[in-house]
Amino acid sequence: MPEKKIYTDSGIEIKELYTAATAGPQMPAEMPGEYPFTRGVQPDMYRGKLWTMRQYAGFSTAEESNKRYHYLLKQGVMGLSVAFDLPTQIGYDSDHPLSEGEVGKVGVAIDSLDDMQTLFKGINLQDVSTSMTINATGFILLALYVAVARQQNADLGKITGTIQNDILKEYAARGTYIYPPKPSMRIITDIFQWCSHELPKWNTISISGYHIREAGSTAVQEIAFTLSNGKAYVMAALAKGLDIDVFGRRLSFFFNAHNNLFEEVAKFRAARRMWAKIMKDLGAKDPKAMALRFHTQTGGSTLTAQQPLNNIGRVTVQTLAAVLGGTQSLHTNGYDEALSLPTEEAAGIALRTQQIVAFESGVADTVDPLAGSYFVESLTHEVELAAWQLIEKIEAMGGSVSAIEQGFIQEEIARSAYAYQQQVERGEKIIVGVNRFQAGEQGSIPVFRVDDSIRQVQTEKLAALRKKRNPAKCDSILQDLNDKASGDENIMPVVIEAVENYCTLGEIADTLREVFGEYK
């Protein structure tokens, strides 16, 4: 009888036994904190400083989200991670007809500086690191954050955080784009340029594999497509004359952690090694510009609505994968997120999962604890080889932007998602509680609901805002934005001026729609 073969989700065959002779190329004598950073970006990793524990939160109004942030800070989170509703993500005010039914649902509604002030009321922006999951309108949300920081008299040189700001993965996997690729890339490089002078500690982009994985990619595809997108952003910045050793230090990444512990660890280690080589080949000389720093979120698509308490176990495995893989910050999902936004209880358990791993498991006590494992080193090498093969295909098409325009990346993700689903349906891939070990359970998990009346609340706020501001001043600033966007001046200063004078997010986005058009 032939021996049964076992493969990772990326199609890499797992041998029954790994030895020094069969493990493949072993890692040379690399040290953490040194090129090519396979073993981590800091020499002492978590012995010196634990990863930043974030909890992704945002729903309903700014007032409600602000209460959740204060709760999370009291529970021990080290950084905030803001979720925005769909109208905010695609540049519509809450009173726009297309916003109906979506206001405050998958994140917080932010229409103006008034909302941003409320969102961070009682929180000193100089004391927290804030990550904002926002892309097409990332430049507006960054401007709003800067405006709040200025009102707090904060030192902008000390403000830390990240905007996701990764538009390429929106075209490939997620869909919350507004403008066509070329003007979108121009906005991103304007952000790089402005922040390098005015907000030096801010991570100007979080190049995201998370949503690529959520759309159905494999681990290998996740890093191949993400690093290709990263290279496209770097080349766009270089074409604008920016210094790779300056903006390269402020690039960060955002990855997914799934259930195959060892493949995920290998993925993170391989990604660091690959990015270091990409940046070196593009001319980076500063090691910090070559070091891949990343945030991780546990896998939303791995959560099951069936037997939802099982998700606590899944999130624990994924937390271990991220930490053993060397993440710089981490968000853990609530066990109920296959059903709704997380309840306060579920968010609390998710945070406690990180704290148990940090303080009770011992995995943070030494650097890169799985290094030297025949299996992990071999898998790191094989993940890297497979990812380079995909990157070479993308390069042959002219890079990520071209590969997205040709539909290659989208088709590869769709093919992988379909193949995975077929494996689940045939029972070849076991999902506990879904296609095996089912139980006749009754749904007793309380779910979190956002009231539809939120849109009316936001609409009334917008009406009051438009009465109190100077309309002529707003019109003048928006015209100035139109002029600068039509030329090649950096738009960030005028966007900040616009939000400080209470122009709304929708008005700013619409001004650029007039100049750039919309991507269809």
DSSP 230-281: HHHHHHHHHHTT--HHHHGGGEEEEEEE-S-HHHHHHHHHHHHHHHHHHHHH
Nearest to 51 by CA among 370, 371, 358, 365: 358
Find where tokens 């050793």 sit.
Answer: 245
* Cβ atoms 315, 277 nearer than 8 A: no
Find where tokens 């109920």 sit.
Answer: 336
Residue 45 has, within 13 A of its CA and on its CB side, a CA count of 21
Averaged over 125-147, what is the pLDDT? 96
Residue 117 pLDDT: 98
CA angle, residues 29, 35, 40, in degrees to nearest 5:
80
Q: What is the pTM of this model?
A: 0.92
pLDDT class for 441, splitting at 50, 70, 90? low
Nearest-angstrom CA–CA distance, 401 and 407: 10
Structure tokens at 318: 């994924």
Nearest-angstrom CA–CA distance, 493 and 484: 10
Residue 24 pLDDT: 65
3-state secondary structure at position 252: strand
* Cβ atoms 88, 110 nearer than 8 A: yes
Nearest-angstrom CA–CA distance, 70 and 513: 36
Task: Please name the amino acid found at residue 397.
Answer: M
First to last CA, the chain: 54
Give the model confidence (pLDDT) of 198-211 as tens digits. 999 999 999 999 99
The DSSP H or E segment spanning 205 is strand 205-208
Give the model confidence (pLDDT) of 61-74 as tens digits. 999 999 999 988 99
Q: Is the peptide bond before 369 cis (omega within 30 degrees of 0)?
A: no
The larger pLDDT score, comparing residue 24 to residue 220, is at 220
Nearest to 160 by CA among 119, 125, 123, 208: 125
Nearest-angstrom CA–CA distance, 117 and 121: 6
- The dihedrals phi and psi of 395, each to the nearest 5 degrees, come to -60, -40
Nearest-angstrom CA–CA distance, 353 and 53: 10
20 has pLDDT over 70: yes
Nearest-angstrom CA–CA distance, 42 and 49: 9
Give the pairing of strands 13-14 and 6-7.
antiparallel
- Beta carbons within 10 angstroms of residue 287's beta carbon: 18
Averaged over 247-263, what is the pLDDT? 96
453 by Cβ neighbours in 10 Å (0-12 / 13-18 / 19+) ranks as exposed
Nearest-angstrom CA–CA distance, 218 and 215: 10
Residue 221 has, within 13 A of its CA and on its CB side, a CA count of 25
pLDDT class for 443, splitting at 50, 70, 90? low
Residue 2 pLDDT: 62
Nearest-angstrom CA–CA distance, 169 and 390: 16
Buried b (16+ CB within 10 A) or exposed e, 204-214: bbbbbbbbbbb
Residue 26 pLDDT: 64
Averaged over 441-455, what is the pLDDT? 74
pLDDT class for 342, splitting at 50, 70, 90? confident
pLDDT class for 467, splitting at 50, 70, 90? very high
1 has pLDDT over 60: no
